[in-house]
Amino acid sequence: MSGRAGGLGLRLAARMTPDGWEPPQYARVKPALLGPLAGEVVEIGPGAGVNLRYYGREVRWTGVEPNTVLHERIRRAAAGAGFTARVAAGGAERIDAPDGSVDAVVGTLVLCSVADPDRVLAEVRRVLRPGGRYVFVEHVAAPAATRTRRAQDALTPILRRLPGGCRYNRDTGAAIARAGFASVARDGFDLPLSFGLALPHIAGTAVR
Ligand SMILES: C[S@@+](CC[C@H](N)C(=O)[O-])C[C@H]1O[C@@H](n2cnc3c(N)ncnc32)[C@H](O)[C@@H]1O
């Protein structure tokens, strides 16, 4: 997107991005994943800063958020959580950090939105120090031939054109598994939707 249409898309996407409430399923898994992180932490696609409440006060946090309409909300969320945030524009395809310099990279509900998840994951690996952690919470494609997967396949061509550009049928677990991390530990949970459907998620940590 470019020009006025792009600006409108970014503003609409920003309006749809939550900064307060989130589903209890997310709130249940995030404290254990994000609370222990320390040192230099980069969060890709932080939205309005919904995760800032889960970090310890001593982290040095940088958000890489291409939607600049959200930057002020991120700074406010950081101030509310008691620390100063550095916010960078641009995408996670190119993180402004030297090789092996970051203790942790965090991404929640981001790999569904990016054009090329393999490229983003390669960049995440590049900036992590050996032993550093990539922490993720992502919704993923349901198993083939299930009702949920049929709905995901039917809706993705439409929904990916809306602000946010989300691909609901992306096999993000497979992308993380093939990204070359030393280890990947993950759990799964479902987020109940309407019509008896439930959106499968993965949450975990990959170690460089
Ligand atoms: C669905 S929102 C998730 C926001 C937040 N992480 C959360 O858990 O609520 C996806 C976010 O990824 C951002 N995003 C989209 N493409 C991106 C890219 N290439 N690199 C980094 N962030 C991106 C969007 O601007 C948006 O803030």
Of 4-13, 15-24, 46-55, 130-139, minimum mean pLDDT range: 4-13
Say whether pLDDT at 100 is over 80.
yes
Tell me how far CA of residue 181 lies from CA of 67, 89, 107, 130, 177, in angstroms: 28, 26, 15, 10, 8
The CATH code of the domain at 3-207 is 3.40.50.150
Single out the residue of 109, 125, 133 nearest to residue 36, CA to CA.
133
- 17-20 long-range contacts (CB < 8 A, ≥24 apart) are 17/47, 17/48, 17/50, 17/67, 17/70, 17/164, 18/47, 18/48, 18/50, 19/47, 19/48, 19/49, 19/50, 19/73, 19/77, 20/50
The answer to whether the CB of 123 is under 6 A from ligand 1 is no
- Ligand 1 atom showing the smallest separation from residue 43 Cα: 6
The answer to whether the CB of 63 is under 6 A from ligand 1 is no
pLDDT at 6: 58
Mutate which of 10, 11, 69, 113 for ligand 1 pocket (most atoms within 8 A of beta carbon): 113
Contact 199, 168 (CB under 8 A): yes
The answer to whether the CB of 67 is under 6 A from ligand 1 is yes
Q: What is the whole-number distance in angstroms between the Cα of residue 2 and the centre of ligand 1?
A: 18
Closest-CA residue, ligand 1 atom 10, reads: 110
pLDDT at 1: 43
pLDDT at 84: 83
Amino acid in position 90: G
Contact 70, 90 (CB under 8 A): no
DSSP state of 68: G
Single out the residue of 42, 176, 134, 34 nearest to residue 96, CA to CA.
42
Say whether pLDDT at 113 is over 50.
yes
The answer to whether the CB of 91 is under 6 A from ligand 1 is yes
Closest-CA residue, ligand 1 atom 1, reads: 109
The answer to whether the CB of 199 is under 6 A from ligand 1 is no
In this prediction, residues 165-170 reach a mean pLDDT of: 92
Share of the chain above pLDDT 70, in %: 92
What are the pLDDT digits (tens) for 33-80?
Answer: 999 999 999 999 999 999 999 999 999 999 999 999 999 999 999 998
Q: If pLDDT is split at 50, 70 and 90, which confidence band does 4 have?
A: low
Domain residues of the chain, as ranges? Answer: 3-207
What are the pLDDT digits (tens) for 131-148?
Answer: 999 999 999 999 999 999
Mutate which of 1, 53, 110, 111 for ligand 1 pocket (most atoms within 8 A of beta carbon): 110
